[in-house]
Structure 1
Amino acid sequence: MALPPKFSGQRFIPTEGAGASSFPSQPLHTVEIFLDYTCPFSAKIYNTLYTSLLPALSSDPSLGSKLQFIFRHQVQPWHPSSTLTHEAALAVQRLAPAKFWDFSAALFKDQKAYFDVSLVNETRNETYKRLAKLAADSVGVDENQVYELLKIPTEAKGDNGSLNVGNAVTNDLKVVIKMARLVGVHVSPTVIFDGVVAGDVSSSWSLEQWLEFLRKATA
């Protein structure tokens, strides 16, 4: 599936890094990873990718140069805060695309702070303020700029006095949700390799299992 240029931060080419602006002349094998920031299994697979697999591929051009990874947002509506955390990631992606993967790591590391019980008594804008602070503390993105993209107005806006206007990243959220729906992804994590669901991939895979899979798949 295509990746709109405005979401370039969600692409990681091991030999180029996160949000790479250049693109190899040869077609690449594509690993799409559908993840939810409030899903423990998504956190598990992302941790392996972020701390082990991507660094290993970056230091092994013979394999890493064949691949690109794309983060796909898999918002799970039964976790209401899932929407808020993905909105925060989209805000960082807009302000600093190259920091998207690092901020995603911070979100997964801090995910329990956004579980149901952790914020049931918190207003939506209060949660956004915490997410904006996390963005500032973890990847150095301006806290106020992140919050400006996330906050919900407290008064009706527009000529018709709309009370349901969303925030500045609502339209981006709609696009990434439509992408997941288009390919019929239902659970997180889900991995798609070159357009086909890789059902054997597990969140419990070790670095060695990932490398074996990728070597065979790209041979």
Structure 2
Amino acid sequence: MNATTTLHGAPLEWGHGPRVFEVFLEPTCPFSVKAFNKLEALLDHVGEEKVTVKIRLQSQPWHLFSGVIVRYILAASTLPEGKAAAWKVMKAVGDHREEFEFTDHCRGPNMDATPHQIMQRIERYSGVNVDEPFARAELQQLIKWHCKYARQNGIHVSPTFMVNGLVQPDLGSGDDISVWAERILA
């Protein structure tokens, strides 16, 4: 990829079924991480031919490195590995979330971390380098799309779940995947 190539992010979608389960996640939120870690099992349980799982990134300002991490994930989606690279980044951040988050959202060792150091940590844990696409201004269009989509659907916090375009306020990250599956297949 070079600066003259148009930047395209792979849709963060898994499965190919007619039922759509959208999950709005903030990558360092413990509840979002809990939900993210259930998505593969959900796809196995429901079946990729019955459901399409779509991850929507919900950057939240109280997670102070949220914007940097969301940008990193979307930059990863522009690589040749596309959504697989983005998944690896989300998994790495979730598996090591304390290294990307502030104590009580306002203090702790990450007060001395720079965005560049956060990016280096993500690359070290995920093995995904996004230096080139991360620095491209047009990546903002992908970021803005996720923000606009969430706002248009009244999404303000993570995780939030939608089934076939309808917000499900009573679903949560603590639910067993069988609860999610029942709602998806209803």
Q: Same fold (TM over 0.5)?
A: yes
What displacement does 1:188 show?
Answer: 0.5
The residue identity in structure 2 corresponding to 1:127 is I
Contact 1:34 1:189 in 2 (8 A): yes
| TM-score normalised per structure 1 | 0.70
1:103 corresponds to: 89
What displacement does 1:118 show?
Answer: 4.1
1:61 corresponds to: none
- Which of the residues 15, 20, 23 maps onto 1:30? 20
2:52 corresponds to: 68
Structure in which a larger fraction of residues adopt helix: 1
Contiguous gaps of at least 5 residues in structure 1: 1-5, 17-23, 59-63, 152-165
What displacement does 1:175 show?
Answer: 2.2
The residue identity in structure 1 corresponding to 2:46 is L
What displacement does 1:101 show?
Answer: 2.5
2:105 corresponds to: none
Tell me, in whole angstroms, the C-alpha distance in 1 between the residues paired with 2:166 and 2:22: 10
1:54 corresponds to: 43
1:170 corresponds to: 140
Tell me, in whole angstroms, the C-alpha distance in 2 between the residues paired with 1:212 and 1:184: 23
The residue identity in structure 2 corresponding to 1:113 is E
2:131 corresponds to: 147
Identity of counterpart residues, as a percentage? Answer: 28
1:208 corresponds to: 178
2:116 corresponds to: 125
Contact 2:43 2:51 in 1 (8 A): no
- Which of the residues 1, 12, 19 maps onto 1:10? 12
Question: How many equivalent residue pairs?
Answer: 173
Contact 1:9 1:101 in 2 (8 A): no
Report the CA distance shift for 1:167/1:126 in structure 2 as closer, same or farther (over 3 A): farther
Tell me, in whole angstroms, the C-alpha distance in 2 between the residues paired with 1:122 and 1:40: 20
- Which of the residues 198, 201, 218 maps onto 2:168? 198
Report the CA distance shift for 1:45/1:101 in structure 2 as closer, same or farther (over 3 A): same
Contact 2:24 2:56 in 1 (8 A): yes
Q: How does 1:86-101 map to 2 (within 5 A)?
A: 86-95=70-79, 96-99=81-84, 100-101=86-87
What displacement does 1:57 show?
Answer: 3.0
RMSD over equivalenced CA pairs, Å: 2.3
After TM superposition, the structure 1 stretch with the greater mean CA deviation from structure 2, 112-121 or 185-194, is 112-121
Contact 1:88 1:132 in 2 (8 A): no
Bigger Cα Rg: 1
What displacement does 1:37 show?
Answer: 0.5
What displacement does 1:82 show?
Answer: 0.7
The residue identity in structure 2 corresponding to 1:122 is A
Deviations 1:150-185 (A, max 9, x none): 35xxxxxxxxxxxxxx85633321222122122221
Residue 43, structure 1, aligned to residue 26, structure 2: no
